[in-house]
Amino acid sequence: MGILKDISTRAPEGMTKKEARAATKKMNKRISELQEIMMAEKKHSLLVVFQGMDSSGKDGATHGVFNECSPHGIHAVSYKKPTDEEFAHDFLWRIHKHAPQKGHISVFIRSHYEDVLIQRVHKWITEEHAIKRINAINAFEELLQFDNNTTVLKFYMHLSHERQGEKLQERLDEPDKNWKHNDGDWAEREHWDEYMRCYEDLFERCTIPWIIAPVDDRWYRDYFITKKILETMEGFNMLFPKLKTEKFLK
């Protein structure tokens, strides 16, 4: 095992759930304020990628970060198994149309990286093919940056093997979570070590770096990711545009 084994999946010592949730709530509000300026200014766009193993909390993180935001300026996409039409195109065809326009935020719940990871783990494509896809992704993400002023934030949802087992079992044991259960999630769990190998190789090959987000403690997950996104948006130094006419000014 490589770098991931040396990075904790838990909240750091000294931080309490109460403190983290209070801070996250304030940051949620500030993100919503910045989102309004972003929509008005129309100079920046933000793509947030949540990628990780089953039950790592990608949906929960989306809500935990953006719950104060206007739905008019945010677009969340959950990528599933490609349809027949999508399979008939290149693997990025279904991705590009969901990239954010200027002034907007897009959230990918799973992403274009699925077509490298699962394909590679199950040997459905060759290693050479997988590396070419990673190179294509690098080019795609760089295109978004220089051609549309899109900032790309990629979060690897760092979940422990033990915690994943607990979360998957909850889907069997708790009636209000039964709908989340999928036999395939348990099957993919059997390939854990190979997924970790592929993720770590991916981290090395990507041009835009990944952010490793500890997610075993869901309250810390929301705090950690919200803080990173807020810091990024603050860095845009956005301003509301000034009125361009003096016709109605007194």
**pLDDT above 80 for 39:** yes
pTM above 0.85?
A: yes
**Residue 70 DSSP code:** -
Q: pLDDT category, 3, cuts 50, 70, 90?
A: confident
Helical pair 114-121 and 127-148, crossing angle rounded to 10 deg: 170
Please give the C-alpha separations between residue 136 and each of 54, 74, 111, 203, 216, in angstroms, as whole numbers.
25, 26, 14, 15, 32
Residue 106 CA to its chain's centroid (Å): 9
Helices (H), the chain: 17-41, 58-66, 84-87, 93-96, 114-121, 127-148, 161-173, 183-189, 192-205, 218-234
Question: Is the pLDDT assigned to residue 102 strictly greater than 80?
Answer: yes
- 68 has a pLDDT exceeding 70: yes
Kindly report, residue by residue over 159-203, the tens digit of the pLDDT.
Answer: 999 999 999 999 999 999 999 898 889 999 999 999 999 999 999
Mean pLDDT (whole number) for 121-136: 97
DSSP 185: H
Give, to the nearest 10 degrees, the angle between helix 218-234 and helix 17-41.
30
Q: What are the φ and ψ backbone dihedral angles of 140, each rounded to 5 degrees? A: -60, -45
Band the pLDDT of 247: cuts 50, 70, 90. Answer: low
Contact by Cβ (8 Å): 22, 221: no
For the domain 3-234, what is the CATH code? 3.40.50.300
Query: Are 107 and 75 spatial neighbours (Cβ–Cβ below 8 Å)?
Result: yes
225 pLDDT exceeds 60?
yes
In this prediction, residue 246 has a pLDDT band, given cuts at 50, 70 and 90, of low
pLDDT above 70 (res 23): yes
73 vs 18, 32, 45, 109, 243, CA distance in Å?
Answer: 30, 10, 10, 17, 21
Q: What is the mean pLDDT of residues 16-34?
A: 98
